[in-house]
Amino acid sequence: MSVHSKLYEGKAKILYTTDDPEVLLADFKDDATAFNAQKRGSIQGKGNINCIISSKLFEQLEAQGIKTHFIDSPAPNQMRVKAVKIVPIEVVVRNIAAGSLCAQTGLALGTILKQPLVEFYYKNDQLGDPLLTRDRLFLMELATLEQVETITHLALQINEFLRSFWQGCGITLVDFKLEFGLDSQNQVILADEISPDTCRLWDSAEADTNRRVMDKDRFRKDLGNIENAYQEVLQRVLQAVESQ
């Protein structure tokens, strides 16, 4: 496979075109950003770690019959993916209150939600990825009603699977963000990545009072030991996959 030109450079990945117009190459970077890129840094080894974790999770989801953009991983920090038209919506699924949900509702950090909450944010850096209402989403024509229903169904299905997968790793899945794309047949498939950058992951072994954060909140909140936490998440994922 020969790589052609840089198609797009995002905060965490670079996308390249390939000789096959239906295939792109994603290069995962060590660069880290938070708060809409107001905070910038680098997490050593993150590109490899996030690419390997995402690849394993996409393989697991595919085995469950959930279609993703994942093809294969030719190098630790590289993923070959199906070219899709990204739906400009960030889909957040929450099981436990944290982050912007606490900030915007006053719910206490760690409150267990009675049922998973699916939220849509407008994927637009200039506007700071604002929370959408369904009416605004349709007003902006970001997706059709059928696509929103498919995305919601898939997001909940993915949450069920991921919750139990992470539980098997001794990790509590607090919340996470997904992105979907439309493939060449206009089908909605899962895109982007699933990694400690896009999930809140708490060590299940720690008591609530002594919460051990194993995700990007360590970077956002300057908690230190970021590389170790990411590395430990990777090791636990690899162990869980190997022991299947």
**Strand, coil or helix: 137:** helix
Question: How far apart are the C-alpha atoms of 27 and 54, rounded to whole Å?
Answer: 12
Residues 27/16, Cβ–Cβ less than 8 Å = yes
Binding window for ligand C5P (CB under 6 A); candidates: 73-81, 90-98, 160-168, 206-214: 90-98
Contact residue for ligand C5P among 17, 100, 124, 150 (CB under 6 A): 100
SS3 content of the chain, % helix, strand, coil (to 5): 35, 35, 30
What are the angstrom distances between the C-alpha of 237 and each of 40, 51, 109, 167? 27, 12, 26, 11
The candidate with the shortest Cα–Cα distance to 183, out of 24, 26, 65, is 24
92 binds ligand C5P (CB under 6 A): yes
Q: In angstroms, what is the minimal distance from the CB of 12 to ligand C5P? A: 9
Binding window for ligand C5P (CB under 6 A); candidates: 25-33, 70-78, 92-100, 159-167: 92-100
Binding window for ligand C5P (CB under 6 A); candidates: 74-82, 136-144, 198-206, 232-240: 198-206
Contact residue for ligand C5P among 56, 69, 82, 216 (CB under 6 A): 216
DSSP structure class, residue 243: T
Give strand pairing partners of 80.
Answer: 25, 72
Question: How far apart are the C-alpha atoms of 212 and 140, rounded to whole Å?
Answer: 39
Interface mask (CB under 6 A) for ligand C5P, residues 36-75, using x and -? ----------------------------------------
Question: How far apart are the C-alpha atoms of 118 and 176, rounded to whole Å?
Answer: 10
11 binds ligand C5P (CB under 6 A): no
81 binds ligand C5P (CB under 6 A): no
96 C-beta neighbours (distance < 10 Å), count? 19
**Strand, coil or helix: 41:** strand
Binding window for ligand C5P (CB under 6 A); candidates: 17-25, 41-49, 56-64, 197-205: 197-205
175 binds ligand C5P (CB under 6 A): yes
Contact residue for ligand C5P among 50, 68, 198, 231 (CB under 6 A): 198
Binding window for ligand C5P (CB under 6 A); candidates: 68-76, 81-89, 94-102, 180-188: 94-102
Positions in the binding site for ligand C5P (CB under 6 A): 90, 92, 98-101, 129, 175-177, 198-200, 216
